[in-house]
Amino acid sequence: MVFYVVGLGLSDEYDITLKGLEAVKSCERIYLEAYTSILMVDKERLEKLYGHEVILADRDMVESDSDTILKDADKVNVAFLVVGDPFGATTHTDLVLRARSQNIEVKTIHNASVMNAIGCCGLQLYNYGQTVSIVFFTETWRPDSFYPKIKANRDIDLHTLCLLDIKVKEQTIENLIKGNKIFEPPRYMTINQCVEQLLEVEEKRGENVYNKNTIGVGLARVGCEDQQIVAGTFEELLTYDFGKPLHSFVIPGKMHFLEADVLKEYAINKETFEKYADISQH
């Protein structure tokens, strides 16, 4: 018997691979990881395709109650579904290690993720440096650990993919302390919020890593029918309406002229793009 870790791709129920679908249909229990990313459809559409109930697995279940997920996985097939590719988050690696420690056979079925689909904007994947996460600022917590990573990338002319924060089934500090099982509505960071926070950190740190005239690329709902790709200065992107989630953001490094030619097609203002883009002529 097998514990399958299956990537679902980026958009809807039909992005699963044929190999993944065959594996899922063989399973007695199916869990959907529901906190590092989201599909653009409800789980009911997955259930209709699979012909089986899908159990939502929140962060608490995956990180603290993995025994429930792995129960009897040495006797029956169990599937753990992940939006994108299975190993986009470290908690999934931990789950695999726990399964192997119990002598449960694990099979991984890969799929597209934002880490490779981001190539749709025209910037070559092998020209990216470290990927960073941008989390929601609070009144008392405004982390800037991403800043030196962006600087390191830009110092050697590499692009930076920024993954934007998702808050699903989160509690306020007050409810957490009181043990109240009351959860906040889901929140998904927008490109506008990301750019605003990036500029705030630049103003605080003052190392001139980027500024309001730096070219950025906003990508919304990558892999979906209504995918959006928009290039512009940080200032232009601050107010651009990208619509519903999920959003991602890219800060280009020095661009090959062919990369720039593709990206310019998505520019809010082509003259502004040509003025501020860092383009190699070689």
Q: pLDDT digits over 251-277, tens only?
A: 999 999 999 999 999 999 999 999 999
Write down the mean pLDDT value for the chain.
93
Q: Count other Cβ atoms within 10 Å, centred on residue 123.
A: 24
Residue 78 CA neighbour count, 13 Å, CB half: 22
Percentage, residues of the chain above pLDDT 70: 94
How would DSSP label each residue in 117-169? HGGGGS--GGGB---EEEPPP-SS----THHHHHHHHHHTT-BEEEEEPEE-S
For 271, residues 6+ apart whose C-beta sits below 8 A from its C-beta are none
Cis omega (within 30 of 0) for bond into 46 = no
Q: Which residues pair with 218 in a beta bridge?
A: 230, 249
Q: How far is CA 150 from CA 66, 77, 202, 218, in A?
A: 35, 42, 11, 16
The reply to whether 164 sits in an annotated binding site is: yes
Torsion of the alpha carbons at 279, 243, 171 and 63, rounded to the nearest 10: -60
- Residue 117 is given by DSSP the state H
222 is in an annotated binding site: yes
CATH 3.30.950.10 domain extents, the chain: 115-276
Place of tokens 């390191």: 152
Superfamily of domain 2-112: Tetrapyrrole methylase, N-terminal domain (3.40.1010.10)
Q: Which amino acid is at 39?
A: L
Give the model's pLDDT for residue 58.
85
Residue 174's SS3 state is: helix
Coil, strand, or helix at residue 69?
A: helix
88 assigned to a ligand binding site: yes
User: What is the C-alpha separation between 49 and 8, in angstroms, rounded?
Assistant: 13
Tell me the residue type at 61.
M
pLDDT of 179 strictly over 80: no
Of the two residues 150 and 178, the one the predictor is more confident about is 150
Write out the residue limits of the CATH 3.40.1010.10 domain(s) in the chain.
2-112
CA–CA distance, 47 with 7 (Å, rounded to integer): 16
Residues in CB range of 179: below 8 A, 6 or more apart: none
The 10s digit of each residue's pLDDT in 104-131 is: 999 999 999 999 999 999 999 999 999 9
State in words which class domain 115-276 has.
alpha beta
What average pLDDT does range 274-281 have in this prediction? 93
Q: Is 10 annotated as a binding residue?
A: yes
Burial class, 141, CB count within 10 angstroms (exposed 0-12 / middle 13-18 / buried 19+)? exposed
Instruction: Answer whether residue 176 shows pLDDT above 70.
Output: no
pLDDT digits (tens, 9 = 90+) for 54-81: 999 988 888 888 899 999 999 999 999 9
The reported pLDDT for the residue numbered 178 is 64
Which residue in 239, 240, 217, 241 sits closest to 229, CA to CA? 217
**Which contiguous run of DSSP H or E holds residue 96?**
helix 90-101
